[in-house]
């Protein structure tokens, strides 16, 4: 029995064309920095890929800095921008971000605060996980000249909320503050146009949209001064040293290109399944609560996230998994131990609710059968997870 995979936000299967391109390219030798024919050929593969990704995302090719993935791209943007901006003006110590960033966006900020004297400012979000723009305006008005950068993720990985990136950039522009966005969940799922967004930097990851794991990029404006994290061979305009991964970039480009080309039809297909799944979870488990915005332009089309009150998420995950339904218990793990979701907590949920969540994320291989399999096993999962939590559903009593 092949599993019903509903965890595409964690990683999605490689698109067939990307996989073929990857394997084909792996057969070739040549360091893209070498000057001989093999090196030149590899270099041309890297540059083709760069141009294709740039075109797909509304950026100029020189704006694409290849990395090992989204986490590295976020770290490069946050640390690199902070160091450069702080060096240019030591008064700039504030990093303004949101309470619902992915750990790749949050932890570098906490690290800069702990180790480099930065001040982390975490903007609140509303109940649906949308950043509080009034709080951002107030922060910028009061501390504009002390802000090194602003970082707001494009789309939330847990509950799928799309952030008002354009409004954030407009507020920042008045004071010339650079804005970084983690767009890892957005690429291939919603329209992403770097130039039109007005962003300074943007992190992307290949494996979230059908490319290989271990490949990402920081899209960064050409005029940007950014301090590198890694030093060595001076690749990527000396911003990111390290041998260029020609096969990985090639496959990433194929994946990003296809995901963006298919975006409209795929978003509509996933959006239809998303609405149906939300409705059917509501029927199967009447007290389950949808987290985040209603389906539509404010939410990723593949994201379905629920609070199942009184359920131990670990136990739900276990029951689903034992029936071949693969989903995420919706929060970060430390050595396999689920922690209450900081995103749900920031949205005003209790620690208990934030530990009773499940995320079902749909993607390009998702079919109606996957939805049926989930809905079929969900009541048992909820019942058992409530027993584990020692919590009897009121309806079962009454």
User: CB-wise, 371 or 374, nearer to other proteins?
Assistant: 374
Is there binding between residue 2 and other proteins (CB under 8 A)? Answer: no
The residues in 295-324 that bind other proteins, with binding defined as CB under 8 A, are: 314-315, 318-319, 321-322
Shortest reach from residue 390's CB to other proteins, in Å:
8
Among 2, 334, 396, 397, binds other proteins (CB under 8 A): 334
The two three-digit tokens of residue 55, written as one number? 């075109």
Distance CA 384, CA 378 (A): 10
For the beta carbon of residue 312, count every other beta carbon within 10 angstroms. Answer: 21
Is there binding between residue 35 and other proteins (CB under 8 A)? Answer: no
User: CB-wise, 260 or 358, nearer to other proteins?
Assistant: 358
Q: CA quadruple 52, 57, 60, 63: dihedral positive or negative?
A: negative
Find the part of the chain contacting other proteins (CB under 8 A) among 185-193, 228-236, 292-300, 383-391. 383-391
Find the part of the chain contacting other proteins (CB under 8 A) among 90-98, 158-166, 260-268, 335-343. 335-343
Among 1, 27, 37, 337, binds other proteins (CB under 8 A): 337
37-56 and 246-261 helices, crossing angle to 10°: 30
Taking CA atoms, 346 is separated from 229, 301, 303, in Å, by: 30, 22, 18
Strand, coil or helix: 180: strand
Distance CA 112, CA 80 (A): 11
Shortest reach from residue 318's CB to other proteins, in Å:
6
Helix (H) or strand (E) holding 303: strand 303-307
Helix (H) or strand (E) holding 170: helix 165-173
Shortest reach from residue 376's CB to other proteins, in Å:
16
Shortest reach from residue 195's CB to other proteins, in Å:
44
Contact 154, 183 (CB under 8 A): yes
Is there binding between residue 397 and other proteins (CB under 8 A)? Answer: no
Task: Kindly report the backbone phi and psi dihedral angles of residue 375, in degrees, each rounded to the nearest multiple of 5, phi listed first.
Answer: -65, -35
Shortest reach from residue 322's CB to other proteins, in Å:
7
Contact 6, 374 (CB under 8 A): yes
User: CB-wise, 286 or 336, nearer to other proteins?
Assistant: 336
Shortest reach from residue 282's CB to other proteins, in Å:
24
User: CB-wise, 126 or 314, nearer to other proteins?
Assistant: 314
User: CB-wise, 17 or 387, nearer to other proteins?
Assistant: 387
Is there binding between residue 358 and other proteins (CB under 8 A)? Answer: no
User: CB-wise, 339 or 394, nearer to other proteins?
Assistant: 339
Contact 105, 151 (CB under 8 A): yes
User: CB-wise, 123 or 317, nearer to other proteins?
Assistant: 317
Shortest reach from residue 13's CB to other proteins, in Å:
21
Q: Is 333 tagged catalytic?
A: yes
Is there binding between residue 259 and other proteins (CB under 8 A)? Answer: no
Find the part of the chain contacting other proteins (CB under 8 A) among 82-90, 99-107, 342-350, 384-392. 384-392
| Of 137, 225, 139, 230, residue with least CA distance to 178 | 225
Taking CA atoms, 251 is separated from 63, 305, 319, 366, in Å, by: 19, 30, 35, 21
70-88 and 103-116 helices, crossing angle to 10°: 30
The region that residue 147 occupies, defined by phi over 0 for left and psi between -120 and 50 for alpha, beta otherwise, is beta
Catalytic residue among 134, 138, 333, 392: 333
Number of residues that bind other proteins (CB under 8 A): 14
Angle at 276 between CA 18 and CA 344, to 5 degrees: 80
Residues that bind other proteins (CB under 8 A): 314-315, 318-319, 321-322, 334-338, 384, 387-388
Q: Indicate which residues carry an active-site annotation.
A: 333
């Amino acid at each position: 029995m092949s599993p019903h995979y509903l965890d595409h936000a964690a990683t999605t299967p490689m698109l067939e064309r990307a996989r073929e391109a990857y394997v084909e390219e792996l057969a070739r030798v040549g360091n893209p920095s070498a000057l001989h024919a093999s090196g030149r050929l590899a270099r041309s593969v890297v540059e083709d890929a760069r141009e294709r990704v740039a075109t797909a995302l509304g950026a100029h090719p020189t704006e694409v800095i290849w990395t090992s993935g989204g986490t590295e791209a976020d770290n490069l943007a946050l640390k690199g921008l902070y160091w450069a901006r702080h060096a240019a003006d030591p008064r700039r110590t504030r990093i303004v971000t949101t309470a619902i960033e992915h750990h790749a966006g949050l932890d570098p900020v906490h690290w800069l605060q702990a180790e480099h004297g930065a001040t982390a400012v975490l903007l609140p979000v509303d109940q649906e996980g949308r950043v509080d723009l009034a709080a951002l305006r107030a922060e910028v008005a009061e501390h504009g000249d002390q802000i090194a950068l602003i970082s707001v993720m494009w789309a939330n990985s847990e509950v799928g909320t799309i952030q008002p990136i354009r409004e954030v950039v407009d507020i920042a522009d008045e004071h010339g503050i650079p804005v970084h966005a983690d767009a890892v969940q957005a690429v291939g799922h919603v329209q992403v146009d770097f130039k039109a967004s007005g962003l300074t930097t943007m992190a992307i990851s290949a494996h979230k949209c059908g490319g290989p794991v271990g490949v990402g990029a920081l899209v960064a404006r050409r005029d940007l001064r950014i301090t590198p994290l890694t030093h060595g061979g001076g690749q990527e305009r000396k911003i990111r040293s390290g041998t260029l991964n020609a096969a990985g970039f090639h496959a990433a480009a194929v994946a990003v290109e296809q995901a963006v080309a298919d975006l409209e039809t795929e978003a509509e297909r996933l959006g239809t399944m998303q609405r149906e799944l939300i409705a059917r979870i509501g029927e199967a488990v009447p007290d389950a609560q949808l987290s985040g915005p209603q389906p539509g332009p404010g939410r990723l089309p593949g994201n379905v996230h629920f609070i199942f009150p009184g359920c131990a998420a670990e136990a739900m995950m276990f029951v689903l998994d034992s029936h071949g339904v693969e989903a995420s218990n919706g929060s970060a793990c430390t050595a396999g131990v689920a922690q209450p979701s900081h995103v749900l907590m920031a949205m005003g949920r209790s620690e208990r609710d934030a530990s009773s969540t499940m995320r079902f994320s749909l993607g390009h291989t998702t079919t109606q059968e996957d939805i049926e399999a989930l809905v079929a096993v969900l009541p048992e999962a909820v019942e058992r997870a409530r027993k584990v939590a020692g919590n009897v559903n009121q309806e079962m009593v009454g």
